[in-house]
Amino acid sequence: MAQLQSPESDFDGTNSVQNQSIAIPAKFIAIADSFEKKEHSWFATSQIPTDLSILVQDITFNVHKFPLISRCGFIGRIGFQPSNSNLGYDIKLENFPGGPETFEIILKFCYGLPVSLNPNNVASLRCASEFLEMTEEFEDGNLIAKAEAFLTFVVLSSWRETITVLKSCETLSPWAENLQIVRRCCDSIAWKASQGNPTIGETINEESWWVEDVATLRINHFMRIITAIRAKGMKPETIGSCIMQYAEKWLPCMDIELEGIRKYSYGKSELQLSITSGRRQEGAVGNNKDQRMIIESLVSILPPQKEAASCKFLLWMLKMAIAYSASPALISELEKRVGMVLENANVNDLLIPSCRIGDQGDPINSPEERTMHNIDVVQRIIDYFLMHEQQQHDHQQPQQKSGKVKVSKLLDNYLAEIARDPNLSITKFQVLAEALPENARTCDDGLYRAIDTYLKTHPSLSEHDRRRLCKVMDCKKLSLDACMHAAQNDRLPLRTIIQVLFSEQVKIRVAMQGKEQAASGNISDQEDSWSSTKKDIMTLKAELEKVKMEMAEMQRDYSELQQEYEKLNHKQKNLSGWMSGWKKIKKSSLFHGKVDGDETAEREQRSNPTGCRVSFRRASLS
């Protein structure tokens, strides 16, 4: 701390203090030892009676005129005017910078008592000394000069003391602004932050070491610093990090229970939504106007680059902007920015309440919006996403192919959440489900789950409405598990179930054809390297056909033989027919019959006309 004491005058009778009204010898100036407080009044303890009472706010200071008029031009001008003693004071200092505490320090300075200048009081003393016109005209080394020297050479060379002084300026408007104290502090902070050197002798290793300190300032000073830092070329992501940290400290946290969507209750057709609002930064103002000003200010200084803020933060700011009734232009700007990074969002962040925050901090449902969540905002965000994708395509900029796929999954999960709301109309559900182009979804399982949830929540839907709802789903894009579930789902209209079964049959048929074509293609691709194998296969095929023909011929002969045998067995005649059958077997290329001899056969036939003895030899296929 810098200990600065006002220089005492020379009381040898040679010097005198000039005043606009009268010249008084210095030896008559009363010197007080200290000040003491009695109820709402301060008194200078001195042997000489006080002759001036000054009212600052609700505190009356009983002092001597001449120590003040010797250093304060303002007191010198009005100190000898008719007093207002009938009101209990001679002079009233209205809107005095720093209030009674600062005026007490100035009195000590004027009386020659020790005065300590420090970062907590130097700004208020500088403003108060300007109010009282404590210039060098009245005394060399007056309070204005001392405060300016302390600001320039002590405060602005230190990061932490500059932050302290800037915080003290929050209650000194407009004096601190007019005297350039705020501007000089903001410029010093911005320069140190951009240079990475907070002050001589202080070592900070973290790249964004300044973020936490700057985030503790009021919004008007914070904006001045961020604007100056941006002008010096700091990275957008660093500035965005500081803005996000500031928002976390100063904006109320609106916590929507993640399970609340399943727990909400309905009374008189009004949705009861639990919202908890509370401020994280001690001393933050809480009325709607101030909160709205912070939201609009932070969005206005947010760098336009995509990497400056996360999608989660943008959606949170969008929720706050809607809740605190920010301007439509600001809400539209946030919707556009969310649309640019929508593929990074999650379902919980996308659940935007349809209600606003009232003046007393209570949630207020809009009379025109009965649903729990603001569906229209999400619809506009998706439109902005598609516009951004189209602009990238038109400018031939590289796009991530997974962008639309991620957004389609996000939208399907979002539809599944809002489908639990009984007040959600089928038209809004259908329009939102059809917001993305057909090629955005590679699979419609998520959309089927959302539709099934909606049908479960709205069991009284007519057959026409159920058909209309199911039209947004492409049955050909359902997986096997989804098809099996849909085929047994009583909530679906019969026409949809038939379409599901038919599409599954078509997929099976296409899959089988694809396998056959793939197998045929593989054989044709390997014809050159497998030519010899192919010849062997053809040879085997030919031999197989030959064997088949011989077997068929043998089967016919055997059938004829069986018929002849039956005739012979019953009638015991027509032996010539029986013998002709066996002759055919003897001529067969597959079997060669071996008979012991014609004569022997005739003898055996005569002795045993009902049977025969024949031995067979299996033909060789080699």
Name the nearest CA neighbour of 218 among 262, 265, 176: 176
Q: Are 387 and 341 in contact (CB under 8 A)?
A: no
Sequence letter at residue 169: C
The whole-number pLDDT of residue 587 equals: 53
- What is the CATH code of the structural domain delimited by 2-155? 3.30.710.10
Q: Which residue has the higher pLDDT, 256 or 414?
A: 414
Name the nearest CA neighbour of 29 among 62, 61, 67: 67
Fill in the DSSP letter of residue 350.
Answer: H
Q: Phi and psi for 204 in degrees, rounded to 5?
A: -120, 125
| Residues 6+ away with beta carbon under 8 Å from 540 | none
Domain ranges of the chain: 2-155, 235-258+284-382, 400-518, 542-618
Strands 59-63 and 41-45: parallel
The whole-number pLDDT of residue 599 equals: 45
Q: How far apart are CA 437 and CA 376, in angstroms?
A: 18
Q: Which two tokens stand for residue 400?
A: 């991530």
Q: How many other CB atoms sit within 10 Å of the CB of residue 20?
A: 10
CA distances from 429 to 259, 273, 425, 438, 551 (A): 21, 21, 6, 16, 70
Sequence letter at residue 97: P
Which of 191-195, 287-291, 492-496, 532-536 is predicted least confidently? 532-536
Reported pTM: 0.70
Q: How far apart are CA 143 and CA 99, in angstroms?
A: 17
343 pLDDT band (50/70/90 cuts)? very high
Q: Which residue has the higher pLDDT, 233 or 96?
A: 96
Q: Exposure of 296 by Cβ count < 10 A (0-12 exposed, 13-18 middle, 19+ buried)?
A: middle
Beta bridge partners of 25: 16
Does 295 have pLDDT greater than 70? yes
The whole-number pLDDT of residue 567 equals: 73
Name the nearest CA neighbour of 146 among 185, 101, 103, 106: 106
Name the nearest CA neighbour of 243 among 304, 322, 298, 167: 298
Strands 91-93 and 52-56: parallel
Q: How far apart are CA 549 and CA 364, in angstroms?
A: 91
The whole-number pLDDT of residue 268 equals: 34
Which of 56-65, 216-225, 300-309 is predicted least confidently? 56-65
Q: Are 271 and 371 in contact (CB under 8 A)?
A: yes
Does 508 have pLDDT greater than 70? yes
Buried b (16+ CB within 10 A) or exposed e, 347-382: bebbbbbbbbbeeeeebebeeebbbbbbbebbebbb
Fill in the DSSP letter of residue 154.
Answer: I
Sequence letter at residue 22: I
Q: How far apart are CA 381 and CA 379, in angstroms?
A: 5
Helix or strand or coil: residue 592? strand
The whole-number pLDDT of residue 606 equals: 47
Question: Could you identify the residue written with the tokens 């989804």?
Answer: 482
The whole-number pLDDT of residue 219 equals: 94
Q: How far apart are CA 539 and CA 322, in angstroms?
A: 82
Once rounded to an integer, what is the mean pLDDT over residues 452-459? 96
Q: Phi and psi for 508 in degrees, rounded to 5?
A: -65, -45
Q: Phi and psi for 523 in degrees, rounded to 5?
A: -65, -40
Strand stretches in 141-238, DSSP E: none
The whole-number pLDDT of residue 245 equals: 93
Once rounded to an integer, what is the mean pLDDT over residues 465-486? 92
**What is the sign, positive or negative, of the torsion defined by CA atoms of 353, 355, 356, 360?**
negative
556 pLDDT band (50/70/90 cuts)? confident
Q: How far apart are CA 101 and CA 116, in angstroms?
A: 13
**DSSP string of 51-74, one letter each residue:** -EEEEETTEEEEE-HHHHHTT-HH
Once rounded to an integer, what is the mean pLDDT over residues 323-343? 94
Q: Which DSSP helix (H) or strand (E) runs through 410?
A: helix 402-418
Which of 120-134, 154-168, 335-349, 559-573 is predicted least confidently? 559-573
Q: How far apart are CA 265 and CA 119, in angstroms?
A: 55
Q: Which two tokens stand for residue 6?
A: 């006002």
Q: Which residue has the higher pLDDT, 613 or 255?
A: 255
Q: Which two tokens stand for residue 134?
A: 């404590």
Q: Tens digit of pLDDT for each residue in 154-207?
A: 999 999 999 999 999 999 989 999 999 999 999 999 999 988 655 444 444 456
Q: Are 158 and 199 in contact (CB under 8 A)?
A: yes
Q: Phi and psi for 325 in degrees, rounded to 5?
A: 55, 50
Q: Tens digit of pLDDT for each residue in 80-132?
A: 665 555 666 788 899 999 999 999 999 989 988 888 999 999 999 999 999 99
The whole-number pLDDT of residue 361 equals: 60
